Amino acid sequence: MIAVSTALLQQVISIPAARAVLRPRSRLAASVSSPRQLSVSSSSRAPQVDPNVLLGMSEQELQKLAVDLGQESYRGKQLHHLIYKRKVKEIDNFVQLPQAFRYDLQEAGWTVGRLPIYRTVTAADGTVKLLIKLDDNRLIETVGIPAEDKKGSKRLTACVSSQVGCPLRCSFCATGKGGFSRNLKRHEIIEQVLAIEDIFKHRVTNVVFMGMGEPMLNLKSVLEAHRCLNEDVQIGQRMITISTVGVPNTIKKLASHKLQSTLAVSLHAPNQKLRESIVPSAKSYPLAAIMKDCRDYFVETSRRVSFEYALLAGVNDQVEHAVELAKLLREWGRGHHVNLIPFNPIEGSDYQRPYKKAVLAFADALESREITVSIRQTRGLDASAACGQLRNEFQKSPLSVEANTLQSESDIAVAC
């Protein structure tokens, strides 16, 4: 959902892939501690937690692992420090740990789980898009967006993907057009944040689950990653936003976790009929049901829900739509916030970007009805990669990777 324009790209830097060496699991691995196994959601085609991956484990779990391998529990604390503070990527480089412990970890098949950055693309305003290579040779994309507020304090936002592709096929979305491969595992989500910190040499201050995929279809991994990002990487819950286009029963489920994070719901239309034409999956989740779930989310968490609205010229960008939207939001509560996203045209789509005048008129109509509004600014990379646009560019013109490392063009999957 972060939009990127290749026209505005300044440079392309290729970073050699430092491939993690996966050691076969020894018999010892079966007899010693293994990370918690999480159940697999119906939409997943792979386990959500890789066995024997350290990234994503809590300090307590790492302490237990150390003890299971015959070490004092404080060795687990050291492991935690090395993974999340020092960001050491290979067990071989855990030089603060006894060699025997490192050896036992490796013998048992453990890896840190860090992934190589395949390529970075930097825009004039400093926004960076990263391609990260997964162990199955798929590429996912994440975006780092630096910003400075009026007081001069720096913010670094990571826009992360939760799936490789997306099954929901929203009509304006390039990712939706590209199909769905699989859910991301928790360490693959966490990796995106750590990789941005590596590139910027700066801590990530905000995380938005607005990249490729529908986070609610991979809720288990998203929640695991959220826990780790909050407790281990130490990003405040209020600095994390989980975005959804709406999947029945999942907002309730998320609310039950009582996170202090923001829920962003992609509405894109003020009524059910228009919404179904833009978001086909809306058929199974009527607008009234979403709005009720959002109201309940607010009651449960005291966190205001933010509503995303992609403005499509001549489709949903008229003042009458804004009036209807204001009415809908006010029916279901107070203090709603709407984030307007002027559409960035994608190839193969009939939708057009709205005129600035229409965007401002839409925003005015909401504000005059006491709905707070922000209009997403087009940043350097914003102009052409609203969710999957960049992937489509790369799919037409595949990255020049080693022939034996990517299976086929269809295996190149990049988020936005």
Q: Does 175 contact ligand SF4 by CB under 6 A?
A: yes
Residue 131 or 310 having the CB closest to ligand SF4: 310
Residue 81 or 169 having the CB closest to ligand SF4: 169
State the minimum distance, in angstroms, from the CB of residue 320 to ligand SF4. 24
Which of 83, 143, 173, 259 contacts ligand SF4 by CB under 6 A? 173
Burial of 148 (0-12, 13-18, 19+ CB in 10 A): exposed
Task: Quote the CA–CA distance of 272 and 282 in Å, as a whole number.
Answer: 8
Assess whether 387 carries a catalytic annotation. yes
Q: Does 414 contact ligand SF4 by CB under 6 A?
A: no
Q: How many residues bind ligand SF4 (CB under 6 A)?
A: 12
Sole window of 53-61, 125-133, 173-181, 311-319 interacting with ligand SF4 (rule: CB under 6 A)? 173-181
Q: Does 49 contact ligand SF4 by CB under 6 A?
A: no
Q: Does 87 contact ligand SF4 by CB under 6 A?
A: no
Assess whether 141 carries a catalytic annotation. yes
Q: Does 176 contact ligand SF4 by CB under 6 A?
A: yes
Instruction: Show the 3-state SS of the chain.
Output: CCCCCHHHEEEEEECCCCCCCCCCCCHHHHHCCCCCCCCCCCCCCCCCCCCCECCCCCHHHHHHHHHHCCCCCHHHHHHHHHHHHCCCCCHHHCCCCCHHHHHHHHHCCCECCCCCEEEEEEECCCCEEEEEECCCCCEEEEEEEEEECCCCCEEEEEECCCEEECCCCCCCCHHHHCCEEEECCHHHHHHHHHHHHHHHCCCCCEEEECCCCCHHHHHHHHHHHHHHHHHCCCCCHHHEEEEECCCCCHHHHHHHCCCCCEEEEECCCCCHHHHHHHCHHHHHCCHHHHHHHHHHHHHHHCCCCEEEEEECCCCCCCHHHHHHHHHHHHHCCCCCEEEEEECCCCCCCCCCCCCHHHHHHHHHHHHCCCCEEEECCCCHHHHHCCCCHHHHHHHHCCCCCCCCCCCCHHHCCCCC
Residue 76 or 178 having the CB closest to ligand SF4: 178
Site residues for ligand SF4, window 138-167 (CB under 6 A)?
Answer: 166
Sole window of 6-14, 63-71, 111-119, 211-219 interacting with ligand SF4 (rule: CB under 6 A)? 211-219
Q: Does 215 contact ligand SF4 by CB under 6 A?
A: no
Of 159, 166, 228, 387, which one is the catalytic site residue?
Answer: 387
State the minimum distance, in angstroms, from the CB of residue 156 to ligand SF4. 23
Sole window of 85-93, 96-104, 208-216, 253-261 interacting with ligand SF4 (rule: CB under 6 A)? 208-216
| Positive or negative torsion for Cα 183, 189, 192, 195 | negative
Which of 82, 245, 325, 326 contacts ligand SF4 by CB under 6 A? 245
Max Cα-Cα span within the chain = 70
Q: Are 183 and 218 in contact (CB under 8 A)?
A: yes
Q: How far is CA 119 from CA 2, 51, 145, 198, 263, in A?
A: 18, 27, 16, 13, 30
Q: Does 261 contact ligand SF4 by CB under 6 A?
A: no
Which of 35, 109, 113, 213 contacts ligand SF4 by CB under 6 A? 213
Q: Does 214 contact ligand SF4 by CB under 6 A?
A: yes
Q: Does 282 contact ligand SF4 by CB under 6 A?
A: no
Site string for ligand SF4, 371-410 (x = CB under 6 A): ----------------x-----------------------
Closest-approach residue to ligand SF4 (CB): 176
Q: Does 169 contact ligand SF4 by CB under 6 A?
A: yes
Q: Does 240 contact ligand SF4 by CB under 6 A?
A: no
State the minimum distance, in angstroms, from the CB of residue 294 to ligand SF4. 17
Q: Does 251 contact ligand SF4 by CB under 6 A?
A: no
Residue 123 or 164 having the CB closest to ligand SF4: 164
Q: Does 65 contact ligand SF4 by CB under 6 A?
A: no
Residues near ligand SF4, by CB under 6 A: 166, 168-170, 173, 175-176, 212-214, 245, 387
| Catalytic residue list | 141, 387
